[in-house]
Amino acid sequence: MKSRILFLIVIIAILMIFSEAVLAQGCSQCRLGPASNLDAGGNVARGINSGILYLMLIPYLLFMGIMGYFFKNDIIQKWQLFKNLLSKKQLHP
């Protein structure tokens, strides 16, 4: 069992060491293309930025919707408890 965990840790460490070089391959190309187009007066960079924001928006909205669905009843119960506490509290005794 311990040898299996050690083997898994070694494999993960090796993958983490070599993954940086693999992921860095496309970064310069993704930056140089839109940057040179923007310098030439184009609007490709603005479109890429809008696309990135759009792609980021969908997962966040899905996550918030799912969490809202699961915690809706809990939030409603806590709000009712809070309202009951406020109604029982007397401002002027």
- pLDDT tens sequence across 6-35: 888 888 888 877 766 555 555 666 667 777
Q: What pTM was estimated for this model as a whole?
A: 0.42
Q: What pLDDT, on the 0 to 100 scale, is given for residue 69?
A: 86
The chain-wide mean pLDDT, for the chain, equals: 79
d(CA 7, CA 1): 10
d(CA 69, CA 18): 40
